[in-house]
Amino acid sequence: MMKNFVALVGSESSTSTNRHLLQYMKTHFSAEATIELISLTNLPIFKKTDDRFMPEPTLALIKKILPADGVIIGTPEYDHAVPALLLNALAWASYTSHPFVNKPVMITGASYGSLGSSRAQAQLRQVLDSPEIKARVMPGSEFLLGHSLEAFSEQGLIDEETSQQLDGLFKDFLLFVDISAALNNTDDIKKAQSEAFSWDDK
C-alpha cells in the first residue's frame, strides 16, 4: 500500500540544499510513497499561554502530521545544533495535540561541509525522544549529505554510493513504518503521559 509521508523542511531558505534533498526524495520515491513538503517559516515563535492557544498555522501543521504514516525531517546544522526554526515547530507540535507520539520518523541532513549535519541529527534524536514528543525515530538511519552544493545534477544525486545508501534507508523506513504500526500496545499510555507531562511541575 502506498505510504503517505510529510517532510518538514528545517530551513527557511528557498534554495536550501536540505529542501533540495527532500524535493529529490519526493520525486525519486514517488512510486513507493507520497511525500508532502511542509515549510515551517509561517509559524509564530512558540509561547505558552494560560488558555493554551494554538495559532492557525500550528493547527494546520498538526493536521498534516496526525494522519501521516510517517514524518521525514530535513535538518541543517547551525553552530553544531538544530536550527531554531525546526525546534520552534517541534515545540508547537508537543504543546497540545502531541502528533509525534509513536510516529515513525526518518531524519536526513545536508551541509556544505563534510559532516552533513551529524551533530544536529544527534541532537534532534534527543529532542524527538523527549517526554512531550515521544516520536519513534528509525535507529541506525543517519543520512549525512556532505558537500551538498555539489551533490546534485539534473539527474539526481551525483555520487552512486550516496544514492544507493539513501535508497536503502528509504526501503528500511517503509519497513520500519509497517513494523511501528504493529507496535501499538503503549500508544494510549504514551499519549496520556505526554499530555500530562509538564516541565513546570519538575
pLDDT in tens, 105-148: 999 998 887 777 889 999 999 999 999 999 999 998 889 888 88
Q: Is residue 189 part of a domain?
A: yes
- Contact yes or no for 79/13 (Cβ under 8 A): no
Q: Is residue 86 part of a domain?
A: yes
Average pLDDT, the chain: 90
Q: Is residue 184 part of a domain?
A: yes
C-alpha 90/C-alpha 93 separation (Å) is 5
C-alpha 196/C-alpha 191 separation (Å) is 9
At 142 the pLDDT is 85
Query: Alpha helices of 83-117 — where are they, by DSSP H?
Result: 84-93
The number of domains in the chain is 1
Q: Is residue 148 part of a domain?
A: yes
- The mean pLDDT value for 63-78 works out to 95
Segment 4-53, tens digit of pLDDT: 999 999 998 888 999 999 999 999 999 999 999 999 999 999 998 888 89
* CATH code, 167: 3.40.50.360
Bridge partners of residue 190, in order along the sequence: none
Could you tell me the sign of the dihedral formed by the alpha carbons of 176, 182, 186, 188, in that order?
Answer: positive
Task: Please tell me what DSSP assigns to residue 200.
Answer: G
Q: Is residue 96 part of a domain?
A: yes
Q: Is residue 201 part of a domain?
A: no
Q: Is residue 202 part of a domain?
A: no
Burial class (CB in 10 A: 0-12, 13-18, 19+), 197: middle
Residues 6+ apart with CB under 8 A from 61: 38, 40, 43, 89, 92, 93
List the domain range (segments joined by +) for residue 35: 3-196
